[in-house]
Amino acid sequence: MISVIVPIYNVEEYLRYAMESLVNQTYKDFEVILVDDGSTDNSGQLCDQYASEYDWVSAYHKENGGLSDARNYGVAKAKGEWIVFLDPDDYFEPCALELLMELQKRTGARIVAGKGKDTYDHESYQYYQLNEELLSKATLLSSEETLIEMLYGTIATVSAWAKLFPKDIVEKHPYPKGKIYEDLYVISDYLKEVESVCVIDLGIYHYYRRPNSITLSNFNSKHYDFYNSMNHLEDVVQKNYSDNKELDDAVIARLFIGSLHIFILITDSSKEDITRIQRRIRPYLGRVLKNKRINLKNKAIYMMLSLTPGLYYRFKKLKKASMK
């Protein structure tokens, strides 16, 4: 059985979309664990309503502890041998759970990874038909190969969603409480526990882009959690995947990708923050410039950020002004 963990905090206007996508799943051997993480709106009452309406839904209420804490709480309550995560403002394709389980049975892989698709609405269903042609698109990769592709964000991503995990692995490596970039933190821990991963480049999960998401909002100190996650990733790679230059390059590429995201959020007046990030990425500039998987445009941006971030911000201001 699959246990679908849904951490919930103040999402009363979105939760129904996630639940509708679960009600409409073609695969039926699953339970849903709704974890109300101290919501101050009507989310908690909605959880109780769903639990009373569907016998495969359980609702739990706890003090606010953040996304990671709510996920860990849900995993502890799960009865299934497989774990799938669903954020409460996102939604699955109807075939999502069936696809993940079918690929697991066919390949024996202990982790199965689909892909998410960004969306700005809740009506972007593709209604994939589960057939041999669709299933044949899946690929079996080693854990090292999977981590490389996830770090580049190609056929899979580091995000928790759109994936099937064994419960024992998720229990062994809980999410870091109170942190953002929590998915980046744990994914290498999960992968080091398995030999292979079944990956399919198919958008079975719809990721709703909310404008007030903390990773999309203005810069604050929580964004430095990215570097804590990178430190942990580097440690796991060093201990478990030694002498793999391709993986080392992917880790460095991820460092630059994440740093670029943070630079976008920082204003050019935040000199201390700019200098702090610049010092972290500058030693790896040479490796980035030699990396054939990074395009020339991004290499140019990384060079500016590493050497002359002021030039980057001038370009940014000019571009913004030209769009007015």
The DSSP code sequence of 95-145 is: THHHHHHHHHHHH--SEEEEEEEEESSS--------SHHHHTT-EEEEHHH
Q: Phi/psi zone of residue 309: left (φ > 0), alpha (ψ -120 to 50 degrees), beta?
A: alpha
Cβ partners under 8 Å of residue 11, min gap 6:
39, 41, 43, 88, 89
Q: What is the pLDDT of residue 265?
A: 82
The identity of residue 93, as a single letter, is E
Q: pLDDT tens digits, residue range 67-121?
A: 999 999 999 999 999 999 999 999 999 999 999 999 999 999 999 999 998 988 8
pLDDT at res. 266? 80
Give 3-state DSSP helix, strand, coil % of the chain, rounded to 5: 50, 20, 35
pLDDT in tens, 298-317: 999 888 888 887 776 666 66
Contacts within 8 Å (CB) and 24+ apart, 78-81: 78/3, 78/5, 78/31, 78/33, 78/167, 79/1, 79/3, 79/31, 80/1, 80/2, 80/3, 80/30, 80/31, 80/167, 81/1, 81/166, 81/167
Domains identified in the chain and CATH numbers:
2-208 (3.90.550.10), 221-322 (no CATH)
Residue among 267, 112, 262, 133 at smallest CA distance from 194: 112
For residue 242, the SS3 value is coil
Report pLDDT for 219. Answer: 76
Read off the pLDDT of residues 242-252 as tens digits, 9 standing for 90 and up.
789 999 999 99
Question: What was the pLDDT predicted at 320?
Answer: 60
pTM: 0.92
What pLDDT is recorded for position 173?
98
Distance CA 213, CA 164 (A): 24
DSSP-assigned letter for residue 197: E
What pLDDT is attached to residue 158?
A: 95
pLDDT, residue 309, reads: 75
How high is the mean pLDDT of the chain?
Answer: 92
Structure tokens at 20: 């509708």
Q: Per the structure block, which two tokens stand in for 58?
A: 């359980």
- Rounded to an integer, the average pLDDT of 181-210 is 95
Residue 318, token pair as written in the block: 């000019």
Cα 32 to Cα 54: distance, rounded to the nearest angstrom: 10
Percentage of the chain lying above the pLDDT 90 cut: 77
Q: How far apart are CA 98 and CA 71, in angstroms?
A: 22
Above 80 in pLDDT, residue 269? no
Any idea which of 181-185, 254-258, 270-274, 283-287 has the lowest mean pLDDT? 270-274
Residue 280's pLDDT is what?
92
Enter the tokens of residue 145. Answer: 């190969």
> Which residues fall within 8 angstroms of residue 24, CB to CB, at 6 or more apart?
94
Q: How many separate helices (H) and strands (E) can be counted in the chain? A: 14, 9
Q: Is the pLDDT of residue 154 over 70?
A: yes
Q: Where is pLDDT greater, at 213 or 28?
A: 28
pLDDT in tens, 53-75: 999 999 999 999 999 999 999 99
In sequence order, the β-bridge partners of residue 106 are: none
pLDDT over 90 (residue 270): no
Give the tokens for residue 227.
């570097």
Bridge partners (DSSP) listed for residue 203: 115
Confidence of residue 214 (pLDDT cuts 50, 70, 90): very low
Q: For residue 35, what are the β-bridge partners?
A: 7, 60
